[in-house]
């Protein structure tokens, strides 16, 4: 697991979807944790980290909250089309509107939980005394 000290994710109650609470010491770590949370939702369990992050990801958005959602949706797209689960993340550059990263994957376990998308519903990256936090609702 590509764990970062102080990073965590938890699943909160939502009637129909999956709501993920993310916590990390930095925004970069928050984005890495989001990738792990998505992989766990899709696999139905924690998944082992892949070895290297080699596939480039370049994104831009109107703001950092939207960027987080775009990030998850890009990973979701790659998982659904590649047959692989993305668990290795290297953040090269992260601004309030852009992301350059590299990701690595493992062959996805069967069966996988279908995640339709990450939504903009209620997403807000917030700085706290302990670091950063955000909630994201995934449509499953």
Helix (H) or strand (E) holding 38: helix 27-43
Going from the C-alpha of 1 to that of each of 15, 39, 66, 106, the distances in angstroms are 29, 11, 26, 12
Taking CB under 8 A as the criterion, the residue among 1, 56, 97, 113 binding other proteins is 113
Among 11, 48, 95, 130, binds other proteins (CB under 8 A): 11
Contacting other proteins (CB under 8 A), which of 20, 30, 34, 73? 73
Q: Please count the residues of this chain forming the interface with other proteins, following the rule CB under 8 A.
A: 35
**Residue 56 engages other proteins in binding (rule: CB under 8 A):** no
Residue 133: count of CB within 10 angstroms of its CB: 16
Question: Coil, helix or strand for 29?
Answer: helix
The CB-of-40 to other proteins minimum distance in angstroms stands at 12
Tokens coding 94 = 């992260």
User: Which residues in this chain contact other proteins in the complex, by CB under 8 A?
Assistant: 11, 13-18, 42, 44, 61-62, 65-66, 70, 73, 77, 80-81, 83, 108, 110-114, 116-117, 119-123, 137, 139-140
């Amino acid at each position: 697991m590509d764990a970062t000290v102080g990073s965590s994710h938890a699943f909160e109650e939502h009637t129909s979807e999956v709501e993920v609470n993310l916590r990390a010491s930095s925004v970069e770590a928050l984005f890495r944790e989001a990738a792990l949370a998505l992989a766990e939702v899709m696999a139905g369990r924690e998944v082992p980290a892949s070895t290297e992050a080699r596939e480039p990801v370049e994104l831009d958005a109107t703001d950092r909250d939207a960027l987080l959602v775009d990030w998850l949706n890009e990973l979701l797209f790659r998982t659904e089309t590649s047959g692989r689960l993305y668990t290795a993340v290297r953040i090269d550059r992260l601004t309030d509107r852009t992301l350059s990263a590299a990701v690595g994957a493992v062959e996805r376990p069967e069966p996988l939980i279908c995640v339709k998308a990450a939504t903009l519903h209620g997403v807000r990256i917030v700085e706290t005394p302990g670091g950063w936090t955000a909630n994201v609702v995934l449509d499953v």
